[in-house]
Amino acid sequence: MTKRYDSIVVGGGHNGLVCAAYLARAGRSVLVLERRHVLGGAAVTEELHPGFKYSVCSYVVSLLRPEIIRDLQLPRFGLEILPLECSFTPQLDGPGLVRWPDGDKTRREIAQFSQRDAEIYPEFGREMMKVGRMVKPILEMTPPDPSSLRPGNLLDMLKLGRMFGQLTESERILQAKMFTMSAIDFLDEWFEGDLLKATLGVSGIIGTFQGVRSPGTAYVLLHHYMGEIDGAFRAWGLSKGGTGQISNAIADAARHFGAEIRTEASVDEVMVRGGRVRGVVLEDGTEIQADTVVSGLDPHRTFLKLCNSSDLDAEFLGSIKRFKMRGSSGKVNLALDRFPEFTCRPGDGLHVRGDVAIAPSVDYLERAFDEAKYGDFSQRPFMNVVIPSLVDPSVAPPGKHVMSIFVQYAPYALKEGPENWPQKRQAFGDAVIDTLAEYCPTLKESILHRQVLTPWDLEQKIGLTEGNIFHGELSLEQLFFLRPTPLWSRYKTPIPGLWMCASGTHPGGGIMGAPGANAARRILKTR
């Protein structure tokens, strides 16, 4: 007779762990089941070359909610966030652009290209911050159901209405623009310099299957502006020891509160008897009972793989199938035997101790998307490069470096079919290295090991359907009370006792923890 739990969390990704920690903290008996040998899902650190620790998938952090850090006492369990100081966009035929922590220095950098932009830039930041702050409380709330007249729901709608009501007219206009425009159209209203617009515009496309000129991408820009560290907006950081350390800290907090965590325990099926959840069945046939099962997997895997289709109605299943996954990015991790110099700004100073964007022009970014539209990976992709070993020497041997390269576009749906990705994996890796080597000529000869992850690999290894890093695209029609599907955006599912707690629910992706915490709050209220 196996032990019975109040709650089982399927999937030990960071949101599953956050949810488990909150449930355990409230006194529930909780079991987390993780398929892989490591916890963290897409927030994992793995030593794939001796002495070099890769943040395999997710590589930066900023959205992790400060109240979660406090509630779960994460610093006590080993969470250490190191700020990324700068942001650097190198050029092949120019000085590149660095945004520094020092405002005056940044103004002078931008003024190389446009004095007007340089002086507007701080104003832009303030406006974005204002709108970002308006959206911030929404991150912490359960989306109201606009079709329900239940009093609690009406109250939530009212709160939301009041929040919008507090905006000034110009802020409301700004917000409406962000909801409808493309990142570049939106930036065109502010700036004239192409390099600055490309640098800022990439925040609008990360993780989406859209180009910088696709409508709606302006909102995604804002999503990235909401990042905060220590309550300071627009600050990104690295987790010491790699992003896996965040997952480990959350897991240790969960264990501290009494949760039990099992790895290499793959869940095959959510058990439904008499119209409600009774537990789960593991791959080896073991049944574990619980009245509450929380899925930390994406909506596709949750409902199309773990659930029996006879337990769900066809309309709901249809809406889940229509929920767009569409992975568009890959990842290349490198072990380097020395620091790779950037020709346009040599040295390993502060300018490379942040993130480096390969986004030399707006057209470059749009062209990268063109190839993806027709089922090819970009030959000259947008890349976001971080060299964590410069600020965290613990991830590489002394004097050596780890380089993390986020690459877009790599469409899951190759024109030859996604199953052909393994044959294209090395060609994709070569395109990435070749492009980057144009900016860092010594890169190729310093590579000791490389890991190339295509969207296919992200699906097969990590369990992200179609390789979508956000468990479903962060596009407007898939956000807030529409995430993952209009009537089921409140972490609840049509199967009583089955809940969702991951990035496929409001407020979405990134190492934020908010879906996990919000779901736990809802689960604890129900019953």
Partner 1 sequence: MPLPTPFHPRTSKLCESLQFKSWAGYFAVSSYQSHHDPEYFAFRNAAGLLDISPLYKYEVSGVDSAAFLASVATRDVGTLQAGRVTYACFCDSHGKVIDDGTIARIDEQSFRVTTASPTFGWFDRQRRGFDIQLRDVSDTLAALAIQGPNSREALASAADDGIRDLGFFGIMSTRIDGVDVQVSRTGYTGDLGYEVWLRSGDALPVWDALMEAGTPFGLQAAGLDALDVTRIEAGFVLQDVDYFSAPRCLIESRKSSPFEIGLGWTVDLEREPFVGQAALRAEHADGSDWQFVGLEISWEGIEELYAAWGLPPSLPTHACRDAVPLFSGGRQVGQVTSTTWSPILKKYLALATVRTAQSSLGTGLEIEHTVEFERSRVAASVVDRPFFDPDRKRA
Residue numbers at the binding site for partner 1 (CB under 8 A): 66, 69-70, 74-75, 80-83, 85, 100-102, 105, 129, 133, 230-233, 240, 350, 353, 391-394, 398-399
For partner 1, which is the closer residue by CB, 101 or 375? 101
CB of 76 to partner 1, least distance (A): 8
For partner 1, which is the closer residue by CB, 101 or 486? 101
Q: Which residues, at least 6 apart from 196, have a Cβ–Cβ distance to it below 8 Å?
A: 97, 110, 113, 114, 117, 121
Tokens found for residue 370: 């063109």
CB of 151 to partner 1, least distance (A): 26
Position 374, amino acid? Y
CB of 64 to partner 1, least distance (A): 10
Distance CA 204, CA 212 (A): 7
Residue 54, classed as helix, strand or coil, is strand
Residue 409, classed as helix, strand or coil, is coil
Closest CA to 351 of 113, 115, 106, 120: 106
CB of 510 to partner 1, least distance (A): 18
Position 50, amino acid? P
CB of 390 to partner 1, least distance (A): 8
CB of 22 to partner 1, least distance (A): 17
Terminal-residue alpha carbon distance, the chain? 25
Tokens found for residue 431: 């395109």
Residue with tokens 């089955």: 498
CB of 242 to partner 1, least distance (A): 13
CB of 442 to partner 1, least distance (A): 18
Residue 103, classed as helix, strand or coil, is helix
For partner 1, which is the closer residue by CB, 75 or 152? 75
For partner 1, which is the closer residue by CB, 30 or 386? 386
CB of 228 to partner 1, least distance (A): 8
For partner 1, which is the closer residue by CB, 10 or 86? 86
Distance CA 197, CA 191 (A): 7
Within 323-392, where are the H helices?
A: 362-373
For partner 1, which is the closer residue by CB, 351 or 490? 351
For partner 1, which is the closer residue by CB, 75 or 318? 75
C-beta of residue 302 within 8 angstroms of C-beta of residue 11? no
For partner 1, which is the closer residue by CB, 30 or 226? 226
Return the CA Rg of the chain: 22
Inter-axis angle of helices 217-225 and 115-140, nearest 10: 80
Residue 56, classed as helix, strand or coil, is coil
For partner 1, which is the closer residue by CB, 5 or 225? 225
For partner 1, which is the closer residue by CB, 171 or 438? 171
Tokens found for residue 29: 């008996």
CB of 226 to partner 1, least distance (A): 11
Beta bridge partners, 183, equal none
Closest CA to 291 of 305, 307, 306, 272: 272
Tokens found for residue 144: 């109201």
C-beta of residue 453 within 8 angstroms of C-beta of residue 332? yes
CB of 63 to partner 1, least distance (A): 15
For partner 1, which is the closer residue by CB, 71 or 269? 71
Distance CA 464, CA 455 (A): 8
Tokens found for residue 297: 């997997």
Report which DSSP code applies to 475. Answer: -
CB of 232 to partner 1, least distance (A): 8
Q: What's the full length of the chain, in residues?
A: 527
Distance CA 225, CA 197 (A): 15
CB of 194 to partner 1, least distance (A): 28
Distance CA 396, CA 47 (A): 10
Q: What is the DSSP code string of 295-333?
A: E-S-HHIIIIIIS-GGGS-HHHHHHHHHS-----EEEEE
For partner 1, which is the closer residue by CB, 6 or 337? 337
For partner 1, which is the closer residue by CB, 165 or 274? 165
For partner 1, which is the closer residue by CB, 129 or 141? 129
CB of 356 to partner 1, least distance (A): 17
C-beta of residue 344 within 8 angstroms of C-beta of residue 97? no
Distance CA 325, CA 347 (A): 40
Position 418, amino acid? P
Closest CA to 202 of 188, 184, 185: 184
